[in-house]
């Protein structure tokens, strides 16, 4: 492990030197690659530097322990005890950081929420999930852009698509892909019966145009007027865009921007992400045939979480975690859930690396 860490530290130093050269800023594409690579290596390099500083302090403490001053020896012994605990923790953290990283973790995210079984109640919960993710994004200082919203008359959402831009957006939100189940008494229920509905969530890493090129001859682009529940939100001009990828039949709509050109750019960005995810899913399917389960990937198409409002609980079925704070979760307090899912993924990967 030490040899790999030294190589990473050396590479990180080289990247720092290149980024300090003003000439590298003349090539935006090269600069983007350099900064992305530096960002990926930074956690390892900084943690290794912290470990080196600690090891130097421990060496000094050991030297003091050999001195003849009794008071200094007591201080050195205490410093060694606490320092070695921190040293073990740092070494474990570095083991995790050295695991093969998901290349998409540093990307921005495109999310799609669709109402499933349950009619109007499913659409209402789909809108609630959109609000939940919007509040989580705000808590993390991320930028959220609504791309497409197909509302119902009752204030629900048959479908909502949005983009999330921010540090570690995909690394954290990727665990949200799958079927979300809600159990609650709808406002329209007169006899107090609990209804069960489902909503599907898709989380896609956003790609740059240079990373995944679309062939124009494979696309059909239609222009239409924005639709909605009515009122001032509906665009009176034909600025909404529908892009169809002819080889796969995949369709993407974007109608949030008033500019036709902006809607087209956003729709093409979403289409690139969807096609990229389609290729990844093919690879995952091949791997899943040999593995029983994997947090965040192997269980994508299964029910991943239940929101039970009468009992005030949220249960993530992949890791068996139940939290009795459904109101806080629906207000965007997802950190405990996501941290537990990330820890489970890391533990699984560490077992696989042994």
Is residue 141 a part of any domain in this protein?
yes
Whether the CB-CB separation of 112 and 130 falls below 8 Å is answered with: no
Of residues 285 and 248, more confidence is placed in 248
**pLDDT of residue 234 exceeding 50:** no
Instruction: Return the beta strands (E) in 118-258 as ranges.
Output: 143-151, 157-165, 178-184, 195-205, 219-224, 240-245, 250-254
Residues 27 and 125 in one domain: no
Domain boundary among 97, 121, 144: 97
Domain that holds residue 49: 2-97
Domain boundary among 97, 127, 144: 97
Is residue 104 a part of any domain in this protein?
no
pLDDT-based confidence at residue 350 (cuts at 50, 70, 90): confident
Residues 46 and 148 in one domain: no
- What whole-number distance in Å separates Cα of residue 41 and Cα of residue 39? 6
Q: State how many domains the chain has.
A: 2
> Which CATH number fits the domain that encloses residue 73?
1.20.58
Residues comprising the chain, all counted:
354
Task: Name the H helices within the chain.
Answer: 2-19, 28-65, 70-97, 119-139, 169-173, 260-288, 326-330, 335-353
Residues 166 and 24 in one domain: no
**pLDDT of residue 257 exceeding 80:** no
Most confident of 14-28, 245-259, 270-284, 288-302: 14-28
pLDDT-based confidence at residue 348 (cuts at 50, 70, 90): confident
Is residue 51 a part of any domain in this protein?
yes
Residue 275 confidence (pLDDT) = 85
Residue 82 confidence (pLDDT) = 92
What's the rounded mean pLDDT across residues 55-82?
86
Residues 243 and 321 in one domain: yes
Residues 131 and 89 in one domain: no
Residues 209 and 318 in one domain: yes
């Amino acid at each position: 492990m030490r040899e790999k860490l030294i190589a990473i530290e050396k590479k990180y130093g080289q990247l720092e030197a290149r980024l300090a050269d003003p000439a590298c800023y003349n090539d935006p594409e090269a600069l983007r690659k350099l900064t992305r690579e530096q960002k990926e290596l930074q956690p390892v390099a900084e943690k290794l530097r912290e470990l080196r500083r600690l090891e130097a302090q421990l060496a000094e403490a050991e030297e003091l322990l050999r001195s003849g001053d009794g008071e200094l020896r007591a201080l050195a012994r205490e410093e060694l005890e606490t320092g070695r605990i921190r040293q073990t923790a740092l070494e474990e953290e570095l083991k995790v950081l050295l695991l093969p990283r998901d290349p998409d973790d540093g990307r921005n995210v495109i999310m799609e929420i669709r109402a499933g079984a349950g009619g109007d109640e499913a659409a209402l919960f789909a809108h609630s999930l959109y609000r939940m993710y919007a509040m989580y994004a705000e808590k993390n200082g991320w930028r959220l852009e609504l791309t497409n919203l197909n509302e119902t008359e009752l204030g629900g959402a048959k479908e909502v698509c949005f983009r999330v831009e921010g540090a570690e957006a995909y690394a954290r939100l990727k665990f949200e892909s799958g079927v979300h189940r809600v159990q609650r008494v709808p406002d329209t229920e007169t006899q107090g019966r609990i209804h069960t509905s489902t909503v599907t969530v898709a989380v896609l890493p956003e790609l740059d145009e240079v990373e995944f090129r679309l062939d124009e001859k494979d696309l059909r682009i239609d222009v239409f007027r924005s639709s909605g529940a009515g009122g001032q939100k509906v665009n009176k001009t034909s600025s909404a865009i529908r892009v169809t990828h002819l080889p796969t039949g995949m369709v993407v709509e974007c109608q949030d921007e008033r500019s036709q050109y902006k809607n087209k750019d956003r729709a093409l960005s979403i289409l690139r992400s969807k096609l990229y995810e389609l290729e990844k899913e093919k690879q995952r399917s091949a791997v899943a045939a040999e593995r029983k389960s994997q947090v965040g990937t192997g269980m994508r198409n299964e029910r991943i979480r239940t929101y039970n409002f009468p009992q005030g609980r949220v249960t993530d079925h992949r890791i068996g975690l139940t939290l009795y704070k459904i109101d806080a979760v629906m207000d965007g307090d997802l950190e405990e859930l996501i941290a537990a899912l990330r820890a489970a993924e890391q533990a699984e990967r560490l077992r696989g690396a042994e």
